[in-house]
Amino acid sequence: MSEAIMEIRAGTGGEEAALFALNLFNMYKKYALRTGWKLNILDESRSELGGFRQITFEFSGPEALKKMGGEAGVHRVQRIPKTEKSGRVHTSTATVAVLPKVKETVFRINPADLEITFFRSGGPGGQNVNKVETAVRIRHKPTGITAASQEGRSQQGNREKALEVLRAKLWQAEQEKMVGEITEERRKQIGSAERSEKIRTYNFPQDRVTDHRLKKSWGGLEKIMDGEIDKIISALQAPSQ
C-alpha cells in the first residue's frame, strides 16, 4: 500500500483558476474511485464561486505515490469561462504538489518548533464541526512552513493529520539540502504558477490535452476531466525510448 499527499492551488487567473483547481481535484478524485484508491480531504479553502483557492488531500492505494508523482507541476487550462460574456478564451493555471507520507520514526519534529492554532472548520462536516474549534493549523517556526487539517471531527485527529502533512513538507525540504539543493522540492514543483511554467495544457476549444514533457496530446477532454487519465499516467510511467 502506497500513500501520497497532494496539494492543488489556484494559480494565475483569479476565479477561473480556482474553478480549474476544483476541476483537477474532481479529476483525481474520480480517477481514485476508478482505481480503487482511498481519498481523504485534509484541508480546503473555497473561492467565492465555489472553486478551490487551495485543497490538500491524501491518496492511499497500490502505487499511489508512483502514479501521482508525475502530476506535480503547473497545469494550464484554455477555455471560455462561464462568466465570460464576449466568448473570449482565457488562460489560467493551477499548481499541483505531490509529497510522500513520512513516518514519525523516519523524521522527527521538535515540538518546541511548532506553533499550533485552532479554528472553526469551514468544511462540509455540518453544524457540529463548525460550532467547535476542531480545525488545526501548525506552523514550523524555524522555516515558516505550515500545514492544516479541518475535515476531521476531532481536534486530535486534525492535529495528527496536519502533523503528517507538515512532516512530509519538512522531510522533502531536508532531502533537498542533503543533495545540495536549496530550493524546496515542493516549491520547485509548483514554480511561480506563471502561464509559461507548465507541464500540461487542457485546451477545451480544441478538445485536447497536451503533456509538454512527453510532447504528446490526447483528445476526449471531457472524459479525461471525468477521471479517465490512465493513458496519460501510463505514458509518464513508461521507460524512455
Reported as a single tens digit per residue, the pLDDT across 27-71 is 999 999 999 999 999 999 999 999 999 999 999 998 999 999 999
Q: What is the pLDDT of residue 122?
A: 67
Distance CA 221, CA 224 (A): 5
Q: Please state the φ and ψ torsions of residue 96, each to the nearest 5 degrees.
A: -125, 130
Please list the residues that pair with 56 across neighbouring strands: 7, 43
Mean per-residue pLDDT, 81-95: 87
Mean pLDDT of 109-135: 72
The residue among 190, 184, 152 whose CA lies nearest residue 169 is 184
Residue-wise pLDDT tens digits, 199-214: 999 999 999 999 999 9
Q: How far is CA 165 from the centre of its chain?
A: 12
Tens digits of residue pLDDT in 134-180: 889 999 998 888 899 988 778 888 988 898 888 888 887 776 666 55
- pLDDT at position 200 is 96
Within 13 Å and on the Cβ side, how many CA atoms surround 7?
24
Q: How many CA atoms lie within 13 A of 5 on its CB side?
A: 24
The DSSP code for 169 is H
DSSP string covering 77-119: EEE--TT-SS---EEEEEEEEEEE---TTTS---GGGEEEEEE
pLDDT of residue 52: 95
Residue 81 φ then ψ, to 5°: -65, 150
Q: Per-residue pLDDT tens for 93-113?
A: 999 999 888 776 777 888 899
Three-state DSSP at 192 gives: coil
Domain 2-102+185-236 and domain 111-178 have a common topology: no
What single DSSP character describes residue 239? Answer: P
First and final CA of the chain: distance in angstroms?
29
The CATH architecture to which 111-178 belongs is: 2-Layer Sandwich (3.30)
- pLDDT tens digits along 7-28: 999 999 999 999 999 999 999 9
| DSSP helix/strand/coil, 164 | helix
C-alpha cell belonging to residue 34: 476508478
Q: What is the pLDDT of residue 192?
A: 53
Joined grid coordinates for residue 236: 509518464
User: Residue 241 — pLDDT band, cuts 50, 70, 90?
Assistant: very low
Burial class (CB in 10 A: 0-12, 13-18, 19+), 156: exposed
How is the chain split into domains, by residue range? 2-102+185-236, 111-178
**pLDDT level of residue 127 (50, 70, 90 thresholds):** very low
Q: Which of 25, 73, 75, 77 is nearest to 46 (CA)?
A: 25
- Which CATH number is correct for 2-102+185-236, 3.40.50.150, 3.40.140.10, 1.20.1070.10, 3.30.70.1660? 3.30.70.1660
Per-residue model confidence as pLDDT tens digits over 65-80: 999 999 999 999 999 9
